[in-house]
């Protein structure tokens, strides 16, 4: 099969970021080093559930995120979804979504507490998952209404830039 150009990467560069060629495989088997889990309990639309379940595979370096739902056990009503930066061998955030046919509820969020010297708070973890779901998956996920974009976006950009400034 011929290579199909995706974004700004050539075939050799894309292999580095291709989910199937990822050094840890497509199942994100490397665990978080210091995770914490808390309940979330937000109801999401069936459309958002479907978008999150479908996940996201980065098209180019600007996308920066994988969103990967894990295969469910037979008869399970809980979907586990990992949010990982494309260069990371482990997820940074994991959500558990319980589905009962008509409704879906994000039951919990698990995140890596420390990123370098930075401590990631529960509020930060939830906001970043909501942001990624909205931007990458085009979800209408609730969760950021209590702060206007002018209030949280500068902090997010500062944090994101601090992470990416060390990448060559």
Q: For 99-124, write each residue's pLDDT tens digit.
A: 987 789 999 999 988 877 778 889 88
In a domain, 64, yes or no: yes
In a domain, 18, yes or no: no
Using alpha carbons only, what angle is made at residue 157 by residues 61 and 81, rounded to the nearest 5 degrees? 60
How far apart, in whole angstroms, are the C-alpha atoms of residue 147 and residue 37? 23
In a domain, 152, yes or no: yes
**What is the count of structural domains for the chain?**
1
- Taking the CA atoms of the chain, what radius of gyration do you get in angstroms? 16
How far apart, in whole angstroms, are the C-alpha atoms of residue 48 and residue 97? 11
pLDDT band at 166 (very low <50, low <70, confident <90, very high): low
How far apart, in whole angstroms, are the C-alpha atoms of residue 114 and residue 33? 9
Q: What is the pTM of this model?
A: 0.71
In a domain, 20, yes or no: no
The residue range of the domain holding 138 is 35-166
Tokens standing for 102?
């008509």
In a domain, 112, yes or no: yes
- Lowest average pLDDT, out of 2-16, 61-75, 126-140, goes to 2-16
In a domain, 5, yes or no: no
pLDDT digits (tens, 9 = 90+) for 41-80: 999 999 999 999 999 888 777 778 889 888 888 888 999 9
Tokens standing for 104?
């879906």
Q: Is the pLDDT of residue 15 over 60?
A: no
In a domain, 42, yes or no: yes
Q: Of 21, 14, 65, whose CA–CA distance to 3 is shortest?
A: 14
In a domain, 47, yes or no: yes
């Amino acid at each position: 099969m011929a290579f199909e150009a995706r974004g700004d990467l050539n075939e050799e560069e894309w292999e580095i970021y291709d989910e199937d060629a990822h050094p840890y495989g497509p199942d994100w088997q490397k665990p978080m080093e210091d995770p914490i889990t808390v309940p979330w309990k937000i109801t999401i639309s069936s459309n958002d559930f479907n978008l999150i379940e479908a996940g996201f595979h980065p098209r180019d370096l600007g996308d920066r995120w994988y969103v990967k739902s894990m295969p469910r056990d037979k008869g399970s009503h809980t979907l586990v979804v990992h949010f990982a930066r494309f260069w990371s061998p482990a997820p940074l955030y994991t959500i558990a979504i319980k589905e009962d046919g008509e409704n879906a509820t994000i039951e919990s969020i698990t995140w890596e507490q420390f990123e370098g010297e930075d401590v990631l708070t529960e509020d930060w973890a939830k906001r970043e998952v909501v942001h990624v779901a909205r931007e990458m998956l085009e979800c209408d996920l609730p969760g950021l209404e209590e702060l206007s974009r002018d209030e949280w976006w500068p902090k997010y950009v500062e944090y994101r830039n601090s992470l990416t400034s060390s990448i060559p």
